[in-house]
Amino acid sequence: MTTVDVPPPVEVARTASTSPSSRGRGASSRQRRTAWLMVAPAGLHALYWIALPVLATFVLSMTNYSVLAPLRFVGLGNFVKSFEDPIFRTSIWHTVVYTFFTVPVSMALAVFLAVLLNQQIRARAWYRAAVFLPQVTATVAVATVWYQIYDPYSGLANKLLSFLGITGPAWLADPSYALSAVIVMGVWQGIGIKMIIYLAALQNLPDELFEAAELDGANAWQRFRRITLPMLRPATLFVGVVSIISAFQAFDQVYVLTRGGPANATTMMTYEVYKNAFATFQMGMACAKSVVLFVFLFGLTLLNRKLTGGDEDE
C-alpha cells in the first residue's frame, strides 16, 4: 500500500474527519464522478442489451415487423392472431402442464432431500454433488443423453421396463408419451438447484426450536410439518418463483428431444417464439408471443407471492 497519487490536503482532512460516522455521506464531487464512471460500463451495457430489447419487444409486438415486409403498426392484431392459432393455444397448454408437473414435484422431492441431507451423516457432500450434477451440466448435453435413454431399441428406459415385463413405447415419437418424457427429464434436472436453496435455508434455522419441540414430544413428522415447513416459507417463495420462471422458458430440452413434435405434441411457448422469429422471420408475431409469455410469468409471480404470503418474511 504505497502512496500513488496524493489528493489535495483539504480533502484528506475532510474524509478523515467525517469517516467514522459518514458511511458514504459527504462523498466529494470527485468521488461521485468516480462512482458514476465505475457504474457506467455495466449500466450502459444493461440499458443497451436488456432495457432497450425489453422495450422493443413490447413495441414490435404491435407491428408486423419481419425481415421481408415494410414495418406497419397493427395494434393488437398479433395477439388476436396468436390466440386464434390452435398450435399456439396448444403450446400454452403444454407450457402450463410442463410447469405444473415439474415445479411442485421437484420442489417436494427437493425439500425432502434437503431435510435428509441436513443431518450429520457420512458422505453427505457426495450425495449432494450427485443430486446437483444434472443442474451443472448443460441442458443440451443431458437432453442428448435422455434422447438416447428414450430410444425404444437401444435406450435405458425400455431396458429397465423390460425387467418388469413391460414393452415400452417409442417415447419421443409417440404423441401420447412425448410430453411426459420431457417432463420426467425436467423433474430430474430441476431437483438440484431447489435442494441447494432449501438446504441453505435449513441451515439458517435455529436449533432451539427443534430442541424445544422434541422435548415437548413432537415426532419427526410433526416437527417437519409444524416447524420446518412453515419456517421454510421464504425459501419456498423464492424457489417457486425461480422455478416457474425457468420452467416456463424451457427450450433447450424441447429443441434436442422433440423439436416440438411429434405433431406439435410437445411444443411450448418458447418454441413457438423461436419458430416465428427464426424459421418464418415474423419478428412482430414472435414478440407478441413473448409478451404473452411475459404476462403469464408476471401473473404467476404475483400469485405465488400471494399464496405463500412471502412479502413480510423477506
Site for another protein in 99-118 (CB under 8 A): 113, 116-118
Q: Which of 67, 97, 98 is nearest to 286 (CA)?
A: 67
Closer CB to another protein, 32 or 89, in the complex = 32
> Of 208-247, which residues contact another protein (CB under 8 A)?
210-211, 214, 234-235, 238-239, 242, 245
Q: Which of 272, 249, 293, 265 is nearest to 88 (CA)?
A: 272
> Of 295-314, which residues contact another protein (CB under 8 A)?
297
For the chain, the DSSP string reads ----SPPPHHHHHHHHHHHHHHTTTT--HHHHHHHHHHHHHHHHHHIIIIIHHHHHHHHHTTB---SSSPP-B-TTHHHHHHHH-HHHHHHHHHHHHHHHHHHHHHHHHHHHHHHHHTS--TTHHHHHHHHHHHHHS-HHHHHHHHHHHT-TTT-HHHHHHHHTT-----TTT-TTTHHHHHHHHHHHHHHHHHHHHHHHHHHTS-HHHHHHHHHTT--HHHHIIIIIHHHTHHHHHHHHHHHHHHHHT--HHHHHHTTT-STTTT--HHHHHHHHHHTS--HHHHHHHHHHHHHHHHHHHHHHHHHHT-GGG-
Which position among 193, 247, 265, 300 is part of the footprint of another protein (CB under 8 A)?
Answer: 193
Closer CB to another protein, 265 or 292, in the complex = 292
Q: Which stretch binds another protein (CB under 8 A): 68-76, 90-98, 282-290, 302-310?
A: 282-290
Q: Which stretch binds another protein (CB under 8 A): 76-84, 85-93, 97-105, 286-294?
A: 286-294
Q: Least distance to another protein from the beta carbon of 238, Å?
A: 6
279 binds another protein (CB under 8 A): no
Query: How many residues in the shown chain lie near another protein by CB under 8 A?
Result: 119
Q: Least distance to another protein from the beta carbon of 102, Å?
A: 15
Q: Least distance to another protein from the beta carbon of 181, Å?
A: 13
Q: CB-hemisphere CA count at 13 Å for 201? A: 25
Closer CB to another protein, 52 or 307, in the complex = 52
281 binds another protein (CB under 8 A): no
Q: Least distance to another protein from the beta carbon of 289, Å?
A: 9
Closer CB to another protein, 76 or 129, in the complex = 129
Q: State the binding string over 47-86 for another protein (x if CB under 8 A, else -).
A: -xxxxxxx-xx--x--------------------------
Q: Least distance to another protein from the beta carbon of 121, Å?
A: 6
Residues 197 and 238 sit within 8 Å (Cβ to Cβ) = yes
> Of 124-163, which residues contact another protein (CB under 8 A)?
124-134, 136-142, 144-149, 151, 153-156, 158-159, 162
Give me the torsion for CA of 287, 295, 300, 43, rounded to 10°.
Answer: 70
Which position among 105, 255, 262, 305 is part of the footprint of another protein (CB under 8 A)?
Answer: 255
